Structure 1
């Protein structure tokens, strides 16, 4: 048989290569009818008997049974093959799940147990959170970032939960990504005295921490505690350097890809959910303001931008005053409007408003480019996580406060739209519409992998079951062949509560 050479796109461990070979060879050499004997259902979930057998082996290994270790390794290979073959036969080809690791997961056998459950449920990808809420999943004794480690318990300083999770996921045939917050650097970053200039600020001098108080009603509306949200100025060189250190540390743990979340500004609440005046924009940090002024092509343009930023508007008198130096001009670059780069005399200031919005959005694109560059250089997969409605105009001149220009995200990246609509226990229409919007705006070749929220077999938080959501998405957008579920914690609420609260 002639071997066909293929180009390597990413590095995998020897065990990973063995698993891939086993999956591929079993699919090629055995007919589809024989594969039907695999212990999986149409969602590629393993049978209760197979699950129990594996759990018994895990418990035996945990109890010190040396003979069970080889059997436990063998069953990982077997289940990887069965789920892999099932995914080749069934939709979607790739099914991922979002996973947050807690300090208590350092307990012996805990990561094994969690990852076994993920395989049992038919997943072949896992997105492991490596940077979130102002913490990094790095060992305390080897953490060169500005953020504290997730695991800060004395005696566990050298435990590397990220490296262990990624390694054990790959041993089970799971494609393992690192999942990181992007422009949301967390509360701990806001407390660093020498990083105050790196924080995003609006035209009222506020940081994102100062805009919205943290309370129960807002927690329910936002879906997360606002106390952990501190967004940075994407033009800040300090913020970019700090982030680069973190990403490179994550890459040292050899994920097979990296997903960038919070690629946006703060999501406002109520009337603040719409940015309709310049002082609503997070462009008043020192770096962002300076770059915006540098976009002017002449002194008249720079002066008009300066007046617009300072006052929040420009009058015909302002336009007349600066025009004595020439017609105000600025750069043409990514823009949310079709207007030119000149502001006509007697204009209302619409163009300079559009320039300011485009500048804010460009900061997000630039930060994502810088953040993802080391991932791309290693030939690994990278993905951007976003809200399908985050790039919308609102009314005539307003914009969604997140200013998330996802339709401008690089086409080489995976697109992960968070399709979290809640329109009823048996109505997936608002979820499907989000996916359809993204598909309609994505260029050819972009890999769209919707993230949906919920649990198996039953409605959850005014959403249909995962099965019903997936069936509806498949009918509406059959070209999609990958999907992910948010999250492991939502599917295992009581277990996750215990993992969060236990003491080592």
Structure 2
């Protein structure tokens, strides 16, 4: 018999005494019998609620008893079982405002044994705020169908009842295509040296060109202000945490940028900030480099100050033309990366002011550099020190778990001691989609390799409950 069947068959009390070692099955799951009983109670409650039936108080009490029982059992089990925190990434839809609908989703999450939810609150240029209480420039996910429908607040309340920590999950540099198409926001788009935005880059990934992605200039003050307004509105609702995703530049079909003109540093605000780092002569050198992609030949006396790198007080001085090539590349890369670091600090400020823990979501290889070649994402995650948690996306598939170990190990090697690391895994329970190991196998390997980790999450609920997600996404409120 496969281990997963054993875990599904036994109850909470049996699981609780098994100790901290993980099993290839999934400890902390609710038994099938209790899942069915709770679901029956939920359906009875939802019907009574939709009909305002006289039996509503009784149905609610019966359902609440199951919720409380499983919340207590989940907390006890996760205290005893590795990992202590097990998260899932979730997107909700307008139809989840129907009586009992959101409850069903969160019940399923508890049934799996998860105790943390990353709720997508800002994605594809839409916000999970009510139409009538939306101070941002982005439209509401729910819209006018339910202008007072607050899925974020409702998720926080229902999650807390079930023992779930609910973290708000937002996209950062990717604000959606409609934002950068607005007449009053067109200069906020990230641009390369060919004046291409992420919507027009001929070397952009197909999923970027064909999806709801629109990348912005992290140096632009209007972008920072708009996202601060968004984060402040989220923080007012007191989520258990804020997970910031897309803290990077757009990826491309080429794995490396080898020509500075392909770098996303030509937006108006970014270019101006870059020029401010230079001396007068350095500005001329930089201008020619950015315009042609070639190191210029200018009569520059040795020792002439040219510019300052971010965070450095001493200027970079001219030595010779060979060294100048490296110096120019160092400046361009450092400037691009510093924009991301400052951007993260700026937009997360309203959450920090409310003492809401912040997670930075990133790709462990997004900061790669080899000489004058650099990863197009230019994601300086080792410098994300202004957050409480790192969430490295350990997604690389190499027909085993070696890539996963390499990505998590690379992250842990650079993590400060006071910062928690919570890797994000991709896959399915009991299945091997493509060549990717099952989640059981991945979890067990993570435990064997990094037993001191106490937090792991899974991307994404829609992969675990595909039929449910499709039905909820396509229905009309």
TM-score, normalised relative to structure 1: 0.85
Counterpart contact for 2:15–2:28, Cα < 8 Å: no
Q: State the alpha-carbon separation in 2 of the partners of residues 264 and 153 from structure 1.
A: 32
Residues 258-279 of structure 1, C-alpha deviations (whole Å, 9 max, x = no match): 000000000111x2x3112211
SS in 2 for 1:282: coil
Correspondence 1:287 to 2:269? yes
Contact 1:190 1:199 in 2 (8 A): yes
**Offset of residue 464 of structure 1:** 1.0
Deviation at 1:485, TM superposition (A): 0.3
The answer (yes or no) to whether the contact 2:301–2:318 under 8 Å persists in 1 is no
Q: CA shift at 1:171, angstroms?
A: 1.3
* Structure 1 residue 343: Cα displacement: 2.9
Q: Do residues 393 (structure 1) and 369 (structure 2) align?
A: yes
Query: Could you say which residue in structure 2 is the equivalent of 1:17?
Result: none
Instruction: Give unmatched runs, 5+ long, in structure 2.
Output: 1-12, 49-54
Q: Which residue of 2 aligns with 1:403?
A: 378
Distance 2:252 2:203 in 1: 11
Cα distance change of structure 1 residues 461 and 106 upon mapping to structure 2, 3 Å threshold = farther
Pair 1:243–1:352, CA change in 2 (3 A): same
CA distance in 1, matches of 2:47, 2:18: 32
**2: distance between equivalents of 1:250 and 1:293?**
35
8 Å CA contact retained: 1:212, 1:226 = no
Residue 229 of structure 1: how far off its partner (Å)? 1.4
Counterparts of residues 301-340 of structure 1 (less than 5 Å): 301-315=282-296, 317-318=297-298, 320=299, 323=301, 327-333=304-310
Distance across 2 between alignment mates of 1:137 and 1:234: 23
- 1:262 is matched with 246
Contact 2:199-2:209 at 8 Å conserved across structures = no
Q: Are the equivalent residues in 2 in contact too, given 1:265–1:402 (CA < 8 A)? A: yes
Matches of 1:484 and 1:372, distance apart in 2: 22
Give, in whole Å, the separation in 2 of the partners of 1:293 and 1:37.
Answer: 61
State whether residues 309 and 334 of structure 2, in contact with CA within 8 Å, keep that contact through their aligned partners in structure 1: no
Q: What pairs up with 1:145-184 in 2 under 5 angstroms? A: 145-154=136-145, 156-184=146-174
Q: Residue 383 in 1 paired to residue 359 in 2?
A: yes
Deviation of 1:42 (Å): 5.3
Secondary structure (helix, strand or coil) at the match of 1:203 reads coil
Selected match of 1:83 from 62, 74, 82? 74
Q: Deviations over 1:425-453 (max 9, x none)?
A: xx222122111111112122221100001
- Are 1:419 and 2:394 an aligned pair? yes
1:33 CA drift (Å): 8.7
Are the counterparts in 2 of residues 411 and 446 from structure 1 also a CA contact under 8 Å? no
Within 2, Cα distance between the matches of 1:33 and 1:176?
Answer: 27
CA distance in 2, matches of 1:463, 1:118: 22
Q: Which consecutive unaligned segments of at least 5 residues does structure 1 have? A: 1-31
Instruction: Give distance in 1, aligned partners of 2:15 and 2:191.
Output: 62
1:327-476 mapped onto 2 (5 Å cutoff): 327-333=304-310, 341-347=316-322, 348-394=324-370, 396-410=371-385, 412-424=387-399, 427-476=400-449
Paired with 1:132 and 1:461, the residues of 2 have a C-alpha distance of 27
CA distance in 1, matches of 2:115, 2:340: 31
Which residue of the partner structure matches residue 15 of structure 1? none
| Preserved contact between residue 129 and residue 150 of structure 2 (Cα < 8 Å) | yes
Q: Deviations over 1:371-395 (max 9, x none)?
A: 112212211110000001100114x
- Closer/same/farther in 2, CA of residues 125 and 476 from structure 1, 3 Å limit: same
1:69 aligns with 2:60: yes
CA 1:82/1:212 → structure 2, altered by over 3 Å: closer, same or farther?
farther
2:232 aligned with 1:248, yes or no? Answer: yes
In structure 2, relative to structure 1, the CA distance for the partners of 1:496 and 1:461 (3 Å cut) is: farther
Q: Distance in 2 between matches of 1:429 and 1:282?
A: 32
Residue aligned with 1:470, SS? helix
Out of 16, 36, 39, the position equivalent to 1:52 is: 36
Question: Aligned partners of 1:212, 1:147: CA distance in 2, in Å?
Answer: 27
User: Counterparts of 1:107 and 1:257 in 2: how far apart (Å)?
Assistant: 26
Alpha-carbon distance in structure 2 between the residues aligned to 1:51 and 1:432 = 34
- 1:457 and 1:467 in contact (8 A); partners too: yes
> Take 2:315 and 2:226, find their aligned partners in 1: how far apart are those partners?
36
Contact preservation (8 Å) 1:334, 1:358: no
Mapped contact 2:68–2:162 kept (Cα < 8 A): yes
- Cα 1:114–1:302 shift into 2, 3 Å: same
1:200 to 2:190 alignment: yes
Say which SS state the counterpart of residue 55 (structure 1) adopts. Answer: helix
Kindly state the Cα deviation for residue 225 of structure 1 after the two structures are TM-superposed.
6.7
Q: Provide the secondary structure at the position in 1 that maps to 2:77.
A: helix
Matched, 1:235 2:210: no
Q: Separation in 2 of the partners of 1:146 and 1:42? A: 42
CA contact (8 A) 1:343 1:349 kept: no
Give the paired residue count: 452
Q: Whole-Å Cα distance in 1 between the matches of residues 220 and 473 of structure 2?
A: 34
What TM-score, normalized by structure 2, do the two folds share?
0.90
